[in-house]
Amino acid sequence: MASREGDLNRVFVSSVYSSLKPVRREVVAALQKARYDVAAMELWAADDQPPLDVCLRELQRSDIVVLIIGPGYGTVLQQGISYTHAEYREARARGIPVLAIVVPPTEDLQPEERELLQAFVTEVGSTALFDRLDTSDRVPTAALAALAAAQALGTLGERLTFLQSAETFFAPYLRDTPAVFDHHGPFIGHANALQSVTNFIKGQGRLLILKGQGGSGKSRLLLEATRAASATPDAPTVRFVDPGAQWSADDIAQLAPPRVVVILDDAHRRPDLDRLLEACLRQNPDVRWIISCRNSAIDMVKSQAGPLLGNEEYVTVELSSLPENDAIALAKHYLGQPLAHLADQLVRLADANLLVTRVGAYCIADRRMPPELLSQKPEAFRRAVLDRLLDDPTFNGQSSIPPKPTLQVIAAIGPINTEDESLITTMSAYLKIKAHELRQQLASLEHAGFLLRRGRLVRTSPDVLGDHLLHSAALDANGKPTGFVDDMVKAFAPAYFANILGNAAELDWRAATNDGPPSVLSNVWREVLRSLPCLHNTQRVELVGMLRRPAFFAPAQALEVCEWLAAHPDAPKDEQRTLWGLDDAPDRVFDAI
């Protein structure tokens, strides 16, 4: 985004307008006096209420949001929510920190609006800094105090930016504190692939696709190639896109330099890949891309990127297994001299996978893996070393709670906001542990590198571990669904339903490419189809939105849902929209599809 990374200077003020005009004026004046750069509708709008796209554009350029909830819910938009509610959701989606202040509702508030307002308050209760006031007079003071305290304590963290430098993108893997999954170790092997990617960055080609199995070292190679290319004169600008980051026209507008290379790591996680590439190309006809993906996703990536290139050729670099000598050298480094004699056997069992080699070496060196495991088959060895790693108390801090169940839940429903109190309550109840124990464990797992933070959202890391965790929870030893995914839907829907669908659909997709087990989502898809006749149009629009990422991995199932909706436009009335005099035509569903 077009903001300064880590600098919280531009404050967006979000609230209802008419009933809070005096309060807003005082808040804006107080923030300006405190030398904040303030974004507020009264500073740019000639009318009382500017269009929503104007508000969201200004919000997207901001570093932090001061959200004032009350004394009413506000005007309901065509989307079924108010301006303020839409601004809050936009901030959450973009990882922009929110300071929420709730003021008392007016006494004459209608029951329907009071219900909407309370639902909004409940949703925003997941915000890290949340304050209730007994009078609106204290809002300016409370906003200043919250901003000062948040910056002093460092509780807001760094906002999620769309285009990042290599050092920012890889910061979680370059910390001073050693971790099993960091990028501080030696870069051994893959010399040809490294040279190819480095030459591409410095050269003129339009697109390079880097493919390889999970854990083969694609991300590390991209880091090393970027470093090598940047050391040469007249190196192009290189920017990384986070797999989960949303984007806007303002983000794409940053692609102004004539020589810029945009790198999309794990591009198979982006259902909007084709739209993103097209937007980049329209902004800068000279933009060039590097796209990394897993081997099984190469056809999907090519189908989205290829049409944009026309007759231009693109380069494909495959990151295959390390040559045996290189793999053994890497294993010896992590085993240490006393155990170097085990390197040959470790490499064979790890099937030359870089991540499994490193984790296996750690487990062996720390005596966390009994000798008999060295005689197992590669797949059994992979499962064993990842499980042994999760049992390491070093990475679980002072918590006595086993980390595996917690990480399995996050692998299924993530990415998650660990500051969401309603989620903490639900997770602690599901895991049968106390909320404070869960918070302590989440912090320890993030510190150890098992959880990767992007803005306010965290997910399991690395992807190979997340895959293992979800696979081990969702499928039994015979490859049959365990019902874990069904349990996740019951416990964490609707808030995390879209994430669960996406993650489980990807698990099914990976399994299908290898003639794997039956779908872990069979029951869920059946239940979705069964529920369709009961959904009013607003709910149908929301469901279609939830299918965006799952449709990338389960197109047949998503198409079946959309075809049913298109063939059955008659839906139960949305009483809330009818009450507010809003359009409830089926065209809204068609537009969403």
First to last CA, the chain: 28
Q: How far is CA 377 from CA 367, 383, 392, in A?
A: 20, 10, 23
Phi, psi of 13 (to 5 degrees): -100, 120
What is the C-alpha to C-alpha distance for residues 75 and 52, in angstroms, rounded to an integer?
A: 11
Phi, psi of 74 (to 5 degrees): 105, 175
Q: How much is the pLDDT for 456? A: 61
Mind listing the pLDDT tens digit of every residue in the chain (593 residues)? 333 334 457 899 999 988 898 999 999 999 998 888 899 988 875 445 567 778 888 887 888 899 999 899 988 876 678 889 888 888 876 667 888 898 888 888 888 888 888 888 877 764 445 677 777 888 898 888 888 766 665 545 445 567 888 988 887 788 766 666 778 888 988 999 999 999 999 998 999 999 998 878 899 999 999 999 999 888 899 999 876 666 777 778 888 777 899 999 988 778 788 888 988 888 898 999 999 998 878 888 888 888 877 777 889 999 987 888 888 888 898 888 888 888 888 887 777 677 778 778 877 777 666 656 666 676 777 777 777 777 665 555 555 678 899 999 999 999 887 767 788 899 999 999 998 888 888 878 887 778 887 766 788 988 888 888 999 999 988 888 999 999 999 999 988 999 999 999 988 987 775 555 678 999 999 999 999 999 988 889 889 988 988 888 899 999 999 999 999 999 888 776 555 555 667 888 888 88
8 contact partners, CB below 8 Å, separation of at least 6: 63, 64, 97, 147, 150, 151, 156, 159
What is the C-alpha to C-alpha distance for residues 278 and 285, in angstroms, rounded to an integer?
A: 10
Q: How far is CA 557 from CA 122, 391, 525, 529, in A?
A: 33, 37, 7, 10
Q: Is the model's pTM score more than 0.75?
A: no
Q: How much is the pLDDT for 469? A: 92
Outline where 475-517 has alpha helix (H): 484-492, 497-512
Helix H or strand E encompassing 112 = helix 111-124
Q: How far is CA 149 from CA 99, 129, 142, 145, in A?
A: 11, 10, 10, 6
Residue 281 contacts residue 305 (beta carbons within 8 Å)? no
Helix H or strand E encompassing 289 = strand 288-293
Q: How much is the pLDDT for 219? A: 92
Q: How much is the pLDDT for 239? A: 93
